[in-house]
């Protein structure tokens, strides 16, 4: 695994030891960022199932200001912290060990809103509709923001969840990628 583009292009990232996580492949990661915009002019993001932190770190490398990384796995949290330290990105990140749903509620209490939300839960434990609903109801997504859900290709997500609507879907091998934005904000 490596950072594909931006200020940290080509830098290696460590994977979470063991088989508890499924890292996003470099090919899928590159495709994802081609879909949501190759580079960003600031912004705050949330990587809710961070794993190694690869998606959030890629976004930081491509111009995001800050990212919140959440994972319930201790090894994943240690890996995220290590990768951030190796790249000198600690001051641009908050890292928490927590369950996704509890973490969302804690972030809501803080009044945080995000320009990007990455949802890449383990394929066997996906509660994407509930997470999308929580994010929508709490108005956690900025008007220009996007939510990127990575899931098994067989998963069919709803066309709309509250004010969120699908603007793009792609399949890469066994992986499906679905992007949501708020109604009326197009796919650009």
Any domain includes 140:
yes
Is residue 187 one of the residues assigned to a domain?
Answer: no
Mean pLDDT of 64-70: 97
8 found inside a domain:
no
pTM, rounded to two decimals:
0.92
For the chain, the maximum distance between any two Cα atoms, rounded to a whole number of angstroms, is 42
Give, in order, the Cα–Cα distances in Å from 168 to each of 32, 98, 121. Answer: 11, 29, 19
Distance (Å, whole) CA 185 – CA 174? 29
Q: What's the pLDDT at 22?
A: 60
pLDDT number for residue 59: 96
Which residues form the domain of 138?
Answer: 26-155+174-182
pLDDT score for 30:
84
Q: How does pLDDT run across 171-186, given as a tens digit for each residue?
A: 988 889 999 999 876 5
Structural domain count, the chain? 1
Helix or strand run (H / E) with residue 135: helix 128-137
Residue 15 inside a domain? The answer is no
* Model confidence at 25: pLDDT above 80: no
User: Rounded to whole angstroms, how far apart are CA atoms 50 and 66?
Assistant: 14
Asked if 59 and 145 count as a contact pair (C-beta separation under 8 A), the reply is: no
| CATH number of the domain enclosing 74 | 3.40.50.150
Most confident option among 10-14, 63-67, 152-156: 63-67
pLDDT at residue 187 in the model: 47
Strand order in the sheet with 44-47: 93-97, 66-71, 44-47, 114-119, 141-152, 175-182, 164-172, 160-161
- CA torsion 156-2-67-140 (nearest 10°) is -10
Confidence of residue 21 (pLDDT cuts 50, 70, 90): low
Q: Is 58 a member of any domain?
A: yes
Condensed to tens digits (0 to 9), the pLDDT of residues 119-135 reads 988 766 668 999 999 99
Q: Any idea which residue has 């650009």 for tokens? A: 188
pLDDT of residue 173: 87
Would 48 be classed as within a structural domain?
Answer: yes
5: in domain = no
Residue 39 has pLDDT above 90, yes or no: no
Tell me, yes or no, whether 166 lies in a domain: no
Q: How far is the C-alpha of 85 from the C-alpha of 80, rounded, in Å?
A: 9
pLDDT of residue 23: 65
């Amino acid at each position: 695994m490596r950072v594909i583009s931006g200020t940290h292009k080509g830098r290696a990232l460590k994977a979470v030891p063991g088989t508890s996580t499924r890292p996003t492949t470099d090919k899928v990661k590159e495709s994802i960022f081609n879909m949501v915009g190759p580079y960003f002019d600031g912004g705050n993001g949330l990587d809710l199932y961070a794993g190694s932190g690869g998606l959030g770190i890629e976004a930081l490398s491509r111009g995001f200001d800050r990212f919140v990384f959440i994972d319930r796995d201790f090894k994943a949290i240690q890996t995220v912290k290590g990768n951030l330290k190796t790249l000198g990105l600690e001051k641009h990140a908050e890292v928490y060990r927590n369950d996704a749903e509890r973490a969302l509620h804690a972030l809501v209490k803080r009044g945080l809103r995000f320009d990007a939300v990455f949802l890449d839960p383990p394929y066997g434990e996906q509660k994407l509709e509930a997470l999308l609903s929580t994010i929508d109801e709490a108005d956690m997504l900025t008007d220009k923001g996007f939510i990127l859900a990575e899931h098994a290709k067989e998963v069919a997500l709803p066309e709309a969840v509250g004010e969120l609507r699908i603007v793009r879907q792609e399949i890469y091998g066994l992986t499906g990628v679905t992007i949501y934005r708020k109604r009326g904000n197009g796919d650009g």
